[in-house]
Structure 1
Amino acid sequence: MSAQRPADGPARDGHLHAWAELLRAPAAFTVPGDVLAGTAAAGTRPTGRTALAAGASLCLYEAGMALNDWADREEDATARPHRPLPSGRVRPGAALAAAGLLSAAGLALAACAGRRALAVAGPLAATVWAYDLGLKHTPAGPAAMAAARSLDLLLGAAAGPGAVRRAIVPAAFLGSHTLAVSLVSRRETEGGSSTAPLTALAAAGALTTVLAGRPTAHPAPDASTGAPTPATPADKAARAVRAALAASYAATFARPLAHAALNPSPELTQRAVGAGVRATIALQSGLMARAGAPGTGVLTAALAPLAAHLARKVSTT
């Protein structure tokens, strides 16, 4: 038997790295929190159906990443020649096929999670494809991206027996954050505008206030006196978790936005976009804590260091 050529290992690693770039591997850590936040907002605990919904969410998200680069391959040949498709490291046909297969897998997993989950996953998949193939470069682009994230959170609520309507407000909060990041990302290759970073900074401040505020489920007043129930040690701990997650969200997103507002260069604008993507995890975690699931929020927040570590090797944007 002939020995394996030394070049095989590096070549294989390079191919895997190209696909990790195409699929924005660090951003994948921001996906499970959508479903978990929706589950918490609906007032239910994670179950096997939650896991299926999370798998569907991840498949549809990565389908959007692959389709995004396929749709932008000619533009990237000029603006981002290092990307996997224009550099020739991934074939356009392979990227399009991956988008189709991942979309089909996402819908199949959603169907396994139940009819309500599939009823949300269908519009989510349609939004992803509409954004990448037509809406991205129109004024409706950022709103479509925000709608996709909001639907992703609702997917988590729909996978369980809880009331989906309870997740509408948290979905709007997540959509607002996504809208802010999307507006900043529209100038990430050329920079030159402080308006979007300043607008996003204002949105981040408002969302930080929401996360640090009172939970959506308030303790019942004392039945005999009608007075508010005294805070228990668990209540105080939950309040501390909400404050910590709110601070984490602000610290992750606000500083890069301030830098991009003061100096809207392409480099600093791209850093702000990457920070906004990673800050999604802290926002999801804060929404979970606000909905009465601080433990799940803390566990989800642990994904942020993993995303940051991988982002040093693979670009988030």
Structure 2
Amino acid sequence: MKDRKAVARFGSRSAVRLADLALLVRAPAALSVPGDVIAGAAAAGRPLNARTLGVIGSSVCLYWAGMALNDYADATVDSVERPDRPVPSGRVPRRAALAVAGGLTVAGLGLAAVAGGRRSVGAAVPLAGLVWAYDLKLKSTPWGGVAMAGARVVDVLAGAVVPGRGAGSVGGALRRAAVPAGLVGVHTGTLMALSRYEVGGAPVRVPAATLAVSAVTAVATGLSVGRGAAKGALSGAVPSGLVAPRGGAANRHSPAPLKGVAGAARSKKLVAAAGALAYLGTYGTAQVRALRQPSAENVQRAVGAGILGLMPLQAALTARGGAPGLAAALGVVHPLARRLARRISPT
């Protein structure tokens, strides 16, 4: 009986199953990408509209491109350390992995141009550059972790600079998104530190250090809820009745709106705290396991937990920016991503 599974063709002779392409790009891990853009948009008061969704699509394409390029560049090493991966196993030709990486990069840059014009291209180009530089040159150097952390920082800032009504200046948007971008970058730095020991296991000091940094990141995220709620469609506008006339008493109808704003502030804090706790509960627990027994298997599990654990961190940062509803949605997606990761490893 003929195999009826979907295939993609590269050239005249090769055919690759779509399931193997999904393995190549670690498809479910891309669920960790939209939260970067959303957290940046929330911090800068950007609306969640078609432009923002286009930038999210661009970032997902560039993430998948990086995964495919990683396997292209590591084909020789993977043939020894991870022979079951699509490229060393022969299920995906090496040239096909490079073609996928190139095609997804072009698609990512094109989506950025369509969605946000020069502003979004200005973020997508350095993001793509960092991805390609990491996979082809920097991975085995001390700059590898810096490149990947920088890529995540740029991804958050890409959400902040999406153009639109009431978008304001680029400089102001970047300043407002600097803290969430920095926290995401710090988290990514811990992942990169652990990932160097996925094959041979780690010295105890490595998971001990990354766990400490993750704990500080969680505390900073949960407690540092910004005073100024993001304005615009992501956070909602402050009712005009809240503004008291100059030199006079507050509007007589202000108590109800004030209660609404107080309730929104409480929601921000609660969702941000819940996201930070979920982040530490997933990623932190995996790091504790690696600390107790820093075997290659436990370190690899910690890296996988950290990739998906980024989602509750993003949710907390989104709530911090004034969008607790979107933050809750990101939190709901996290269990789905964890379930999918059981079928396709994010590492």
Match in the other structure for 1:244? 274
**AA partner of residue 277 (structure 2):** A
Cα distance in 1 for partners of 2:18, 2:325 equals: 34
* Residue 193 of structure 2, aligned match among 179, 183, 186: 183
Q: Which amino acid aligns with 2:341?
A: A
Matches within 5 A, 1:74-93: 74-93=76-95
| Deviation string, structure 1 residues 16-65 (Cα, Å, up to 9, x no partner) | 32211111112110011111111011122212110111111011111000
Range with bigger deviation, 150-159 or 164-173: 164-173
2:144 to 141, 144, 164: 141
Q: How does 1:143-158 map to 2 (within 5 A)?
A: 143-158=146-161
Contact 1:217 1:291 in 2 (8 A): no
1:260-279 aligned within 5 A: 260-279=290-309
In structure 1, list runs of 5 or more residues that go unmatched.
Answer: none
Match of 1:165 in 2: 175
User: How far apart in 1 are the matches of 2:41 and 2:343?
Assistant: 32
The amino acid of 1:241's aligned partner reads: V
- Output the CA distance in 1 between the equivalents of 2:71 and 2:161: 30
How many angstroms does 1:11 deviate by? 8.4
Distance 1:20 1:83 in 2: 11
- TM-score w.r.t. structure 2 length? 0.84
What amino acid is the match of 2:302?
A
How far apart, CA to CA, are the structure 2 residues paired with 1:280 and 1:143?
A: 17
| Structure 1 contact 50–159 (Cα < 8 Å) conserved | yes
Q: Residue deviations 1:180-229, cap 9 Å, x none?
A: 0111011001103222211111111111112221421348999789xxx8
The residue type paired with residue 203 of structure 2 is S
TM-score, structure 1 length as denominator? 0.92
Task: Give the aligned residue type for 1:174.
Answer: V
Question: 1:120 corresponds to which letter in structure 2?
Answer: A
Asked if the contact 2:225–2:268 (Cα under 8 Å) also holds between the matched residues in 1, the reply is: no
- In 1: Cα distance, 2:74 partner to 2:224 partner: 43
Letter in 1 for 2:88: P
The structure with the larger Rg is 2
Per-residue Cα deviation, 1:261-308 (whole angstroms, up to 9, x for no partner): 111101100000000001111111111111111111111122211111
Question: 1-side partners of 2:81 and 2:94: how far apart?
Answer: 17
User: Residue 7 of structure 1 aligns to which amino acid in structure 2?
Assistant: D
SS of match in other structure, 1:8: coil
1:123 maps to what in 2?
126
Partner SS state of residue 45, structure 1: coil
Q: Does 1:310 find its partner at 2:340?
A: yes
The 8 Å contact of residues 193 and 206 in structure 2, kept in 1 or not, is answered as yes
Once the two structures are aligned, what percentage of the paired residues are identical? 45
The counterpart of 1:204, out of the listed 214, 217, 222, is 214
Between the aligned partners of 1:71 and 1:120, the Cα distance in structure 2 is 24
Distance 1:204 1:234 in 2: 27
Letter in 2 for 1:306: L
Distance 1:109 1:307 in 2: 24
The structure 2 residue matched to 1:39, chosen from 29, 37, 41, is: 41
Give the counterpart letter for 1:198 in structure 2.
A
Give the residue type in structure 1 aligned to 2:27. A
Q: Tell me the amino acid that sits aligned with residue 110 of structure 1.
A: A
Q: What is the aligned-residue RMSD (CA, Å)?
A: 2.3
Judge conservation of contact 2:35–2:330 (CA < 8 Å) in 1.
yes
Amino acid corresponding to residue 76 of structure 1 in structure 2? D
Amino acid at match of 2:264: A
Q: Number of matched residues?
A: 310
